[in-house]
Amino acid sequence: MATGFDSRVVEYDVRTDEMLVNMGPQHPSTHGVLRLVLRTDGEIVSEVTPHIGYLHRCAEKIGENLTPRQWIPYTDRMDYLAGMNMNLGWSLAVEKLMGLQLPDKARHLRVIIAELGRIASHLVGMGAYGLDLGTFSPFLYAFREREKILDLFEEVCGARLTYSYITPGGATADLPPGWIGRCEAFLNELVPIISDYHNLLTSNAIFIKRTCGIGVLSAEMAIDYGCSGPVLRGSGVDYDLRRDGEERYTEMYDGYSFEVIAERDGHYPKDHQYPKVPQDAVLGDCWHRFYVRMLEVMQAIDLLRQGFDRYSAATGDWGTPIKLTQKLPKGEAYLETEAPRGQMGFYLVSDGSSIPWRVRARSSSFCNLSVTHEICRGVPIADVPAIVGSLDIVMGEIDR
């Protein structure tokens, strides 16, 4: 039996090593081909480094060889979940350079299409977020409704994913007869289903536990990192380009009444109809970003209903698309629009020919993703998909 302290006996603490783990590019919850290199200490992530570019095809270089109308299909493939909004952003930028003014009917048509696209995009965002948290059913419920929107889009332009519908100068066609009625019927179906989504996710106890206080992004940091869209508004910044953007874009929404979805004095606009903000929720966390998206769906429905009457009342045509080889005036124009994922900017420089000298796409997801390494520091591995999912990124748009 040893008596007293034996100096030869050294007490070893359990030695642990940090581990580098590749999350992606083939990982089920990185929304495409995002690669995150995680430095982990057990389950705790000490550092996240995003690696992007797996989907890069240099759309900007392609744009330097095509006329603006020829480049529209390439905008579809940026944020492929909201192709209509991408078309709109590019078309408005080209119109800004050309100084085109659109007839009233085209304006309301664009509002309808853009807001419908926003609903379709947010439905995927919502469903995929459920998937990131390990629940599969909301995803399929979301796609069930999205399919109906795609049916409507198919009627309008013949495509279900890459529309190329909105063009500089208007759109490729008018809405088909009776379409407004079908769209209205769809909205009436959708509204009660939204409360199902709220039951399954927004107010679900486990969902709240998984999202509240996770990935808190302060307003200052959100602005500093150029975050936009629901990510910015989820941090409590009252900024929406549909209201605060350039006149060329905001005039599209002239006469429409809507409130920007952002928390003011602890309340969201019209939030008495929806689940209450849970006590654990911190402004700027995953729950708030999700909630902003859910409320924006309702906002979009509201805007659509306003748009139907205005569109039906409007006279004139839906605009004339510019010619395929339309000469562009010399100059440059930059325009940002409020796409579902944030501020999507298009910049084009023209030397007077029909092909732009330089085309630039400012991607919202690109900036939103750049904040990952800040808000993923020190969280468990399970929260990494939860945080990245709440940013609702689309790799096609990030990598362009």
Partner 1 sequence: MSEKSLLQLLQSRFGNVVTGGDADAIDPWIQVEPQSLLNVCTYLRDDNKLRFDLLNCITGVDYFEPDAKKAAKSPWQPHTELVYHLSSIALKHTLVIKVVLPRWKNDQEGSLPEVDSVSSVWRTADWHEREVYDLSGIFFQGHPDLRRILCPEDWVGHPLRKDYQMPLEYHGIRGR
Partner 2 sequence: MRLNVILFFGKHPGAKRIVAEFINSLLSLSSDHALGYVVASLIHCVLLLHVIAVGALVFIWMERKVSGRIQDRLGPTRVGGRFGWLQTLADGLKLITKEDLMPGAADPLLFRLAPYLSFAASFTAFLALPFADGWAAQVLNVGAFFVLAVLGLEVFGVILAGYGSGSKWSLFGGMREAAQVVSYEVPLGLCVLVPVTVCGTLNLVTIGNMQAGLFTNWLIFQNPFMPIVFLAFFTCAMASVNRAPFDLAEAESELVAGFHTEYSGLRWSIFFMAEYGSMFVVSALAAILFFGAWHGPLPVFASISASPYLMHIANLAGCTNFILKTVIGVTVMIWIRWTLPRLRIDQVITMCWKYCVPIAAFCLVGTVAWEVTGLPWIGDMTPNRNPMGSVREHWAQDDPVASTSHSVVIAEGRRND
DSSP 273: G
The residues near 144 (Cβ < 8 Å, ≥ 6 apart) are: none
Stretch that binds partner 1, among 13-21, 73-81, 310-318, 328-336 (CB under 8 A): 328-336
> Exposed (0-12), middle (13-18) or buried (19+): which is 328, by Cβ within 10 Å?
buried
Site residues for partner 1, 47-86, by CB under 8 A, read 52-53, 56, 58, 60-61, 64
What six digits make up the tokens of 202?
């927004």
Q: Residue 278, interface with partner 1 (CB under 8 A)?
A: no
Alpha-carbon distance values, 76 to 50, 81, 163, 326 (Å): 24, 9, 7, 21
Fill in the per-residue mask, 348 to 387: x = in contact with partner 1 (CB under 8 A), - = not in contact.
Answer: -x-------xx-x-x---xx--x-----------------
Q: Which residue has the tokens 């979940």?
A: 81
Contact 235/292 with Cβ under 8 angstroms? Answer: no
Measured distance CA(343)–CA(336) in Å, rounded:
6
CB of 340 to partner 1, least distance (A): 18
Alpha-carbon distance values, 83 to 101, 114, 126, 266, 357 (Å): 23, 9, 18, 34, 24
Measured distance CA(278)–CA(280) in Å, rounded:
6
Binding site for partner 2 (CB under 8 A): 19, 21, 27-29, 42-43, 130-137, 140-141, 144, 200-201, 204, 206-207, 209-210, 380-385
Q: Residue 153, interface with partner 1 (CB under 8 A)?
A: no
CA 382 to chain centre: 23
Instruction: Work out what residue 43 binds among partner 1, partner 2, none; the CB cut-off runs from 5 to 8 Å by kind.
Output: partner 2
Nearer to partner 1, 187 or 221 (CB): 221
Contact 68/322 with Cβ under 8 angstroms? Answer: yes
Q: Which residue has the tokens 């664009």?
A: 110
CB of 278 to partner 2, least distance (A): 14
Q: Which residue has the tokens 């993923």?
A: 376
- Total residues found in the chain within this entry: 400
Nearer to partner 1, 66 or 116 (CB): 66
CB of 266 to partner 1, least distance (A): 21
> Which of these, 161, 143, 141, lies nearest to 153 by C-alpha position?
161
Q: Residue 327, interface with partner 1 (CB under 8 A)?
A: no
Q: Residue 141, interface with partner 1 (CB under 8 A)?
A: no
Nearer to partner 1, 133 or 328 (CB): 328
> Which of these, 335, 337, 336, 332, lies nearest to 358 by C-alpha position?
332
User: Which of 36, 72, 82, 97 touches partner 1 by CB under 8 A?
Assistant: 97
Measured distance CA(348)–CA(179) in Å, rounded:
34
Instruction: Work out what residue 224 binds among partner 1, partner 2, none; the CB cut-off runs from 5 to 8 Å by kind.
Output: partner 1
Q: Residue 253, interface with partner 1 (CB under 8 A)?
A: no
CB of 96 to partner 1, least distance (A): 6
User: Which of 345, 385, 389, 396 touches partner 1 by CB under 8 A?
Assistant: 345
CB of 227 to partner 1, least distance (A): 8
Residues in touch with partner 1 (CB under 8 A): 52-53, 56, 58, 60-61, 64, 96-97, 221, 223-226, 237, 239, 244, 246, 331-334, 336, 343, 345, 347, 349, 357-358, 360, 362, 366-367, 370, 399-400
